[in-house]
Amino acid sequence: MAIEEAREILKHQFGYDSFRMNQEAAIGAVLDGRDCVVLMPTGGGKSLCYQIPALMLDGLTLVISPLIALMKDQVDALKANGVEAAFLNSTQTAAEQVQVFRDVRSGKLKLLYVAPERLLQSGDQFLEFIRSTNISLFAIDEAHCISSWGHDFRPEYLKLAVLKKEFPRIPVIALTATADKLVRKDIFDRLEIGDAELFLSSFNRPNISYRVEPKRNSFDQLLDFLEDRKDQSGIIYCLSRASVEALAADLRDEGFSSLSYHAGLDKQMRDTHQNSFLRDETKIIVATIAFGMGIDKSNVRFVVHMDLPKNIESYYQETGRAGRDGLASESLLFFSWADVIKLKGFAEVDGNASQSAIMLKKLDQMGKFGELRSCRRRFLLNYFSEELADDCGNCDNCTTTFERFDGTIIAQKALSAVYRTGQNFGLNYMIDFLRGSQAQSIRDEHKNIKTYGVGADISKDAWFDHFKDLIAQGFLSQTEGQFPLIKLTEKSMDVLAGNVPVKLIKAKVREEKTKKLVPEVSHPYIQALLDELREIRTRFANSENVPAYVVFSDATLVEMATYLPQADWELLKISGVGDLKFDKYGADFLRSIKDYCQKNGLVSRIDLKSPKRERKQRTKRDVFGKDTYHISYEMFREGKSMEEIAKSRGLGLSTIEGHLARFVASGELRLDQIVPLEKIEIIRKAIEENQEPSLIGPVKTALGDDYSYGEIRAVMAAM
């Protein structure tokens, strides 16, 4: 069976246990010779949809990719897994290009990456090349670039129609991470693959949390945010090159490891900064949107937007650069209406009214997102025509309770100001009017109105929030377009007449709810070991001159530091360890893990690793309830003793104690529920007296056989 063979390649060449989302179905379609369009979120794993078929088909797979900068990394990553791949672009010397053509001729190459410009090359040269080569598949990456409805239209993509016309029998697979319905239609139409099969995956990125803060003192807010995330990698986006430079420098002054990236830097500098970030030498990259297209750095833990993105597509794509490894990650946006207004100026596309209208509409959606009071993930997915059954529980609005107070008087002041000035002014004017501003802009005749200045006791920012709140509740409305006006609604009169009380939102009170566990984050990995493994990875990466993730992704190292594989077969069970990487790096990583375990009295936990299941949309219980820790926890809560749980699950007692220790750490169990009271103090003392308090081995040695690893771990967790 072809798909069986595909699975073998997935395991042995790429080191993964199971397919994600629509990978398997898309690969099946390609192998059947059908055209297909694959929509998957950033980080979903689009590349494998054509890389695996490329290895199974006998000819060459031609990959059209818009980003020259990215090609080399993709090819390096493939080569690291033992796949014969190359790219052709203008950065290469003539000799290098000749070599590539030679490798194509000899049939050695399985994948060749080229930019779309190639197809336009002098006369028919490149088409001639295709004709004379045994090509099995065309893969078109970032296929949304073909649509002028999209946010990243590239005219040279239009030429790709020639592929299906000239080579009707070679299947085409088009891939993208952003596509609304119009864009999607353009992909089918313009590539002339009307019969292509569509593989639409959920765009949800459950491991990314969404948060929006008002853009006030944003630098201080940013410092607070970064302070708690000192050893994490992150991207901070700013609108202008100048603010990028300024912020990167300010962060360095504050002691953060940060570099800048924008199109104004020369190529060499850009590359240096980018590589330093990819290799984890620099933690924070401050950048314009020029940065990140196709950057496959899997351990980006946060993405911050200091300024508003132009549209939801960009925002989603940029935040999507966080957490490609599946581990919990964060996005933070500083939002202000001033930004919306500023961007409106840029949204005009010269001499193209319809294009301008599209851009303005997209910007309005971005504004709506900024002031949203309901689940942000729902809004985002809805924007991409997807329904989310429940609120996500992992965005600021889901974890915030809005406290309300009686704001009837405030509402009456606001509404009567709108009424008396004739419903003909924008938000800023209304606020200035209410606060009795002396500004020139306030009309003289308005200064005689009774409501002029009745809201002087309320700050501008607070008025802003109140107006937004009144609009959200339907007591006022705001027109569309470049200069939106505030108008009364049907509900306004009842308020003005004093018939309806109005509740307004006081301030945000953030509940520190314990975050729900995303499955991949629930590993109690050993930080000290992870650090050692990272060092080994850096050594290999430097000696091979590739980014660290090309050796192993963070997710792979975290698994090693969790499951502590001790034997070859155990290491091969770790996600991301394929045959070639196993041969190249396996021995070094194994040695380090074994040494560490020996020193600290630990044994392999590989039996805890069940193959990851496909990430389909599942109910919450499935995703959050069924990992091995929760099974033990639930049995314990049902009244079973630890011995009974160990017996019925066929696991060691110490393993069960370890499971339960996690719930001590999270506060769901009390320490004395799993460690006898009389032992707790003694263990606590032994830990404190230990030179390296996080290492369990020496504590165990000091305490002797009457104390188990599990008990010690539980006390550590509680401390």
Give residues in contact with ligand ADP (CB under 6 A): 16, 19-20, 23, 40, 42-48, 296, 298, 324, 553, 575
Q: Identify what 375 binds: Zn ion, ligand ADP, none; CB under 5 to 8 Å per kind.
A: Zn ion
Q: Which is nearer to ligand ADP, 301 or 662 (CB)?
A: 301
If the CB atoms of residues 224 and 390 are measured against Zn ion, the closer one turns out to be 390
Q: How many CB atoms lie within 10 A of CB 20?
A: 19
User: Rounded CA gap, 235 and 258, in Å?
Assistant: 10
Report the residue number, 324 or 377, with the smaller CB distance to Zn ion: 377
193, 37 contact by CB (below 8 A)? yes
Query: CB within 8 A of 283, min separation 6: which ones?
Result: 230, 231, 232, 233, 234, 256, 257, 258
| Tokens 């045959």, located at residue | 579
Alpha helix (H) residue ranges in 601-669: 620-625, 628-637, 642-649, 653-665
The residue of the chain with the least Cβ separation from ligand ADP equals 45
Other residues' Cβ atoms within 10 Å of the Cβ of residue 165: 9
Q: How far is the CB of 618 from Zn ion (least distance, A)?
A: 17
Residue appearing with tokens 């990719």: 65
Task: Please report how close the Cβ of residue 542 comes to ligand ADP at its closest, in angstroms.
Answer: 20
- Residue 531: which residues within 8 A CB-CB, separation 6 or more? none
Min dist. Cβ of residue 319 to Zn ion (A): 14
By DSSP bridging, strand 172-176 and strand 36-39 are parallel
Q: Which residues contact 76 (CB under 8 A, 6 or more apart)?
A: 546, 547, 550
Cα(640)–Cα(656) distance, integer angstroms:
12
Q: Which of ligand ADP, Zn ion, none does 392 bind, CB closer than 5 to 8 A by kind? A: Zn ion
Which of Zn ion, ligand ADP, none sits in contact with 310, Cβ below 5 to 8 A by type? none
Q: Is 564 exposed, middle or buried (0-12, 13-18, 19+ CB in 10 A)?
A: buried
Binder of residue 16, out of ligand ADP, Zn ion, none (CB less than 5 to 8 A by kind) = ligand ADP
Q: Which does 258 bind (CB under 5 to 8 A by kind): ligand ADP, Zn ion, none?
A: none
**Shortest CB 386 distance to Zn ion, Å:** 14
What is the nearest approach in angstroms of ligand ADP to the Cβ of residue 336?
30
* Residue nearer to ligand ADP on the CB measure, 180 or 465: 180
In the complex, minimum distance from the CB of residue 20 to ligand ADP, in angstroms, rounded to a whole number: 4
Q: What is the closest distance, in whole angstroms, from the C-beta atom of residue 269 to ligand ADP in the complex? A: 26
From the list ligand ADP, Zn ion, none, partner contacted by residue 324 (C-beta under 5 to 8 A by kind): ligand ADP
Which strand (E) or helix (H) includes residue 164?
helix 161-166
Give the integer Cα–Cα distance in Å for 692 and 600: 11
**Partner whose binding site includes residue 44, from Zn ion, ligand ADP, none (CB under 5 to 8 Å by kind):** ligand ADP
**Cα–Cα distance for residue pair 204/40, rounded to 1 Å:** 9
* Chain positions contacting Zn ion, by CB under 5 A: 375, 377, 391-392, 395, 398
By beta-carbon proximity to ligand ADP, the closer residue of 46 and 537 is: 46
Least spacing, CB of residue 204 vs ligand ADP, in Å = 14
Quick check: helix, strand or coil at residue 341? helix
Question: What residue 184 binds from ligand ADP, Zn ion, none (CB within 5 to 8 A, per partner kind)?
Answer: none
Q: Which residue carries 């006022």 as its tokens?
A: 476
Nearer of residues 100 and 574 to ligand ADP, judged by Cβ: 574
d(CA 39, CA 200): 5
What does the block give as tokens for 692? 């390296």
CB of 515 to Zn ion, least distance (A): 12
- Residue 76 tokens, joined: 């390096």
Q: Using the minimum distance from each CB to ligand ADP, give the nearer residue, 38 or 244.
A: 38
377 binds, among ligand ADP, Zn ion, none (CB under 5 to 8 A by kind): Zn ion
- Tell the smallest beta-carbon distance from residue 328 to ligand ADP (Å): 16
In the complex with ligand ADP, which residue's Cβ is closer, 157 or 256?
157
Helix extents (H) in 372-491: 376-383, 408-420, 427-434, 460-472
**Residues making up the chain, counted from first to last:** 719
Query: Of 437 and 553, which CB lies nearer to ligand ADP in the complex structure?
Result: 553
Residue 556 touches which of ligand ADP, Zn ion, none (Cβ within 5-8 Å per kind)? none
On whether the CB atoms of residues 523 and 559 are closer than 8 A, the answer is yes
The nearer residue to Zn ion, 206 or 407, going by C-beta atoms, is 206
Strand partners, 335: 214
In the bound state with Zn ion, the residue whose beta carbon lies nearer, of 116 and 323, is 323
In the complex, minimum distance from the CB of residue 89 to Zn ion, in angstroms, rounded to a whole number? 42
Contacted entry of ligand ADP, Zn ion, none for residue 45, CB cut-off 5 to 8 Å set by kind:
ligand ADP
